[in-house]
């Protein structure tokens, strides 16, 4: 009997949120105890033995992954949120979406100069959200050690974008197409 792969736990939903899109739903992965543990273990693997001070989780599924990873690393966790969701002073970064633009924010005291940061999210598509998160971390003086994702959609170019920025990208699985 073969060991399960991450993809075995991910549900694909056709035509969501728009016709022609194959949505990779990781909620089924998170709901399965074995799948969730496997995901966290595999996301952590490349960073074992490397000092990481804080884990950044991108809203919203990055919070689920980032919190679990921060716990395993005995590191702090910092959420990067959509505009208007954080209560204290923030810095902001606008970025492009396929259908418009959005803004991410982080508390201006969440990261200290020189801290080593792991950025985590569930899915890497165009890379716009991750790029905005990286820029926020760098503006606060943090050093991105790596960017970890469950799913990479290589046809959308996010990995290339982040690697061009000098980022090391780790993804557990990839799906061709949209």
User: In sequence order, what are the beta bridge partners of 78?
Assistant: 56
Report the alpha-carbon distance of residue 4 to residue 15 in Å, rounded. 26
**Please, which pLDDT band fits residue 1 given cuts at 50, 70 and 90?**
confident
CA distances from 146 to 129, 135, 170 (A): 15, 13, 7
- Domain coordinates in residue numbering, the chain: 50-174
CA-nearest of 47, 89, 82 to 61 is: 82
Please tell me the pTM assigned to this model. 0.96
At 71-92, the pLDDT tens digits run: 999 999 999 999 999 999 999 9
Q: Which of 94, 98, 160, 163 is catalytic?
A: 98
Residues in Cβ contact with 86 at an 8 Å cutoff, skipping those fewer than 6 apart:
79, 105, 106, 107
Q: Residue 99: what pLDDT?
A: 72
Phi, psi of 25 (to 5 degrees): -90, 105
Tell me, what's the pLDDT at 100? Answer: 82
Domain 50-174: which CATH class? Answer: alpha beta
Relative to beta strand 90-97, strand 11-14 is unpaired
Residue 173's φ and ψ, nearest 5 degrees, are -155, 165
Q: What is the mean pLDDT of the segment spanning 42-50?
A: 95
Catalytic residue among 61, 81, 131, 159: 61
pLDDT value of position 159: 98
Q: What is the mean pLDDT of residues 14-23?
A: 91
Q: Is 61 a catalytic residue?
A: yes
Contacts of 143 (CB under 8 A, 6+ apart): 114, 115, 116, 117
Q: What pLDDT shows up at residue 178?
A: 60
Strand, coil or helix: 70 = helix
Contact 144/136 with Cβ under 8 angstroms? no
Dihedral of CA atoms 164, 165, 169, 174 in degrees, nearest 10, equals -50
Cβ–Cβ under 8 Å, residues 23 and 44: no
């Amino acid at each position: 009997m073969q060991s399960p792969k991450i993809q075995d736990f991910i549900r694909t939903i056709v035509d969501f949120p728009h016709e022609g899109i194959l949505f990779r739903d990781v909620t089924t992965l998170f709901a399965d105890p074995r799948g969730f543990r496997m995901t966290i273990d595999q996301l952590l693997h490349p960073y074992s033995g490397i000092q990481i001070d804080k884990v950044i989780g991108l809203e919203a599924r990055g919070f689920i992954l980032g919190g679990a990873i921060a716990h395993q690393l005995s590191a702090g966790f910092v959420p990067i949120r959509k505009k208007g969701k954080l209560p204290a002073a923030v810095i902001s970064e606008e970025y492009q979406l396929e259908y418009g633009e959005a803004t991410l924010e982080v508390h201006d005291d969440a990261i200290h100069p020189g801290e080593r940061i792991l950025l985590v999210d569930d899915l890497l598509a165009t890379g716009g959200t991750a790029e905005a998160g990286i820029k926020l971390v760098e503006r606060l003086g943090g050093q991105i050690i790596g960017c970890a994702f469950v799913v990479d959609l290589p046809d959308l170019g996010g990995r290339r974008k982040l690697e061009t920025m000098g980022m090391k990208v780790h993804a557990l699985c990839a799906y061709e197409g949209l």
